[in-house]
């Protein structure tokens, strides 16, 4: 069964967004620029993966990374 656009939009409005997709969203969540973040992926195990050529992570993963003190 297919859902209508209105039904889909209503369902989307109720669900919180989990994924941070793209450098702009990740920069806003961390307060760091992409020039600082990119090296941290390999040097400090920043939890960012590339899916379809775009960087992707979640706020929870970033919070755990900071709490673990890996980026410090």
Structural domain of 29 = 17-67
Q: Assess if residue 29 is contained within a domain.
A: yes
Q: Assess if residue 3 is contained within a domain.
A: no
pTM: 0.72
Per the structure, how many domains does the chain have? Answer: 1
CA Rg value for the chain = 15
> Is residue 49 helix, strand or coil?
strand
pLDDT tens sequence across 3-58 = 677 776 766 667 677 899 999 999 999 999 999 999 999 999 999 999 999 999 99
Rounded to whole angstroms, the Cα distance separating 67 from 12 reads 30
* Burial class, 59, CB count within 10 angstroms (exposed 0-12 / middle 13-18 / buried 19+): middle
């Amino acid at each position: 069964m297919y859902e209508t656009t209105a039904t889909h939009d209503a369902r989307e409005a109720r669900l919180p967004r989990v994924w941070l997709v793209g450098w702009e969203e990740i920069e806003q969540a961390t307060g760091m620029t992409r020039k600082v973040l990119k090296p941290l992926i390999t040097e400090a195990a920043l939890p960012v993966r590339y899916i379809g050529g775009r960087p992707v992570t979640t706020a929870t993963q970033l919070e755990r990374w900071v709490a673990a003190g890996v980026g410090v």
